[in-house]
Amino acid sequence: MNKTSLSIAAAFAGLHVAVVAPFVPLASVVPAALGMLAMTSMALTLILAARWRVVDVIMGGPDKSYGAHRWLGFFALFGAMGHWATAESIGAGLAPLLAESGEEVGTLAAMGLLVMTGAAMVRAIPYHLWKASHMLMGPVFVLAAYHTFFVASPLAVGAVPWTLVAVVSGVGLLAWGQTLWRKIVPTRLVTVEQVTPFEGGVEVRFVSDAPLSAFRPGQFATLAHNRARAEAHPFTISGGDARSRSFVIRDAGDWTGAFVHTVAAGDRFRISRAVGRFLPQVGAARKEQLWVAGGVGITPFMAAMERMQPDDGARVTLLYCIRSRETAGGIAAVEAHARRLPQLDLVVLSNDRGEGLTPARFAEIASALPAGTQVYLCGPEGLKGMVTRIWTHLGKTGRIHSERFDFRGAIGLTEMIYIGKSVLQKARITGQTHAPSRS
């Protein structure tokens, strides 16, 4: 979390104190502010999860929305636990006869939020269980809203903070309702037309009997099996037209592993509309661009190249970083596009040939590009970090575009081991510092 994010987080939390303080006794400011923080944070998580287009545009893309969603979840937990520990029954709610039940329901909501947040942090929990648990946020929010408006509270009914929480809660419930409706309303039905396997994954082309919603190169859509309550997983679109969609999918988990090894022509799936703000420029009026793809990160650029026509516009340099040609999904199509498009400079860097994208190699390539070149990054986080650091170090002014596709963002075994080692090391140092001298 950088300084800007910390400043925004502090301002967000402080705003709740500023709004509540004029309307409650001094001793109740912190508990009331924490309660309001929990409610607004939970409501905003539901709003972000609804994937309203206007919200994604404001946030800068669905990946940014999901990032904010995670942090708001922590704010909700912090606010709920703090409120639960410090609040006292003072004043009256909407219905004094329900004040006692409001207090009991609030405890249930706090415990439910604690369990859900804990589950979201552990990647060891299977994806389908994690996603199913997230659907319980709506009921937990309903319990929290009941507690907020019916428990004995020092905040007067109709006061500015009370009204703000009521409005935000209403919008949050509306968003949750739309999310549930999306689960009921069927997405577009498509059929697998062609499957092209490569080492560790498959290229898949789907076709539809009816026109599909339009997409822009760089966007992604979710795929789900054509059965009730099937899991939907996001994948970047690698190509397609009005009635088709193509994807390059790598075996990277339970769902994708089963898909890669069992998908066959004729299988039926459900596909969502395309979303996302990672949009490489494909028109002749574009600025000079550097595209950096790592492995399956080539998919948004495949869609961009498919949409491009030969022209004499600004140059586009594509660095395609692969382990080997056998593991490079779409390599044949990428090379065919490079031959077709005179404005495209393709550089394939294969690890098995000792051609990996080292910092020195990238610095050499980047140094030859104009300072204002726009950079589009899609690949592992390590690759993104290396490119970003060197680009900045070289004094380049062109904007770096990327999206984070690890929407779950949980803590995996590797992170837990790393955190555990750090804690043990600090504990050992502390123990040695305070240990009595043997001399």
Domain containing residue 237: CATH number: 2.40.30.10
3-state DSSP assignment of residue 220:
strand
Whole-angstrom distance, CA of residue 216 vs CA of residue 439: 73
Report d(CA 379, CA 414) in Å as an integer.
19
Q: Are 62 and 404 in contact (CB under 8 A)?
A: no
Six token digits for residue 291: 């595209």
Nearest to 411 by CA among 67, 121, 125: 121
Query: Residue 226 domain-assigned?
Result: yes
pTM for the whole structure: 0.69
Residues 173 and 111 in one domain: yes
Q: Residue 292 has which token pair?
A: 């950096």
**pLDDT greater than 60 at residue 429:** no
Phi and psi angles of residue 199, each rounded to the nearest 5 degrees, phi first: -65, 110
421 in a structural domain: no
Q: Which residues contact 103 (CB under 8 A, 6 or more apart)?
A: 89, 147, 151, 152
pLDDT at 4 over 80: no
Residue 423 lies in a domain: no
- Asked if 206 and 150 sit in the same domain, the reply is no
Please state, for a pLDDT cut of 90, what percent of the chain lies above it. 46
Q: Do residue 262 and residue 329 come from a single domain?
A: no
> What range defines the domain where residue 241 resides?
188-271
| Averaged pLDDT for residues 250-267 | 92
User: How many domains does the chain divide into?
Assistant: 3
Is 278 inside any structural domain? no
User: Which of 145, 161, 184 finishes a domain?
Assistant: 184
Q: Are residues 10 and 138 in the same domain?
A: yes
Answer with the one of 214, 236, 271 that is the final residue of a domain: 271
End-to-end CA distance of the chain: 45
The average pLDDT across 2-7 equals 75
Q: Is 417 within a domain?
A: no
Q: Label residue 202 by pLDDT band (50, 70, 90).
A: very high
Tell whether 53 and 157 lie within a shared domain: yes
**In a shared domain, residues 231 and 315:** no
Is 422 within the bounds of a domain?
A: no
Q: Select, from the ranges 141-145, 235-239, 425-429, 430-434, the one with the highest average predicted confidence (pLDDT).
A: 235-239
Size (the chain), residues = 439
Q: Are 201 and 260 found together in one domain?
A: yes
Q: Is the dihedral of CA 215, 216, 217, 219 positive or negative?
A: negative
Tell whether 252 and 240 lie within a shared domain. yes
Q: Is beta strand 244-250 parallel, antiparallel or unpaired with respect to 201-207?
A: antiparallel
- Output DSSP code: residue 236: E
Instruction: Choose among 268, 263, 184: nearest CA to 226.
Output: 268
Q: 289: which strand partners?
A: 316, 374
Domain boundary among 206, 240, 271: 271
Q: Would 164 be classed as within a structural domain?
A: yes
Whether residue 315 has pLDDT greater than 60 = yes
Helices 99-121 and 127-134: angle between axes, nearest 10 degrees: 160
Tens digit of pLDDT for each residue in 113-136?
888 777 666 666 666 666 666 777
- Cα separation, 68 vs 71, in Å, equals 5
Do 53 and 154 sit in the same domain of this protein? yes
What number of CA atoms fall less than 13 Å from residue 426's CA on the CB side?
5
Q: Are residues 151 and 21 in the same domain?
A: yes
Residue 395 belongs to some domain of the structure: yes
Mark whether 94 and 143 lie in a shared domain. yes
Residues 108 and 247 in one domain: no
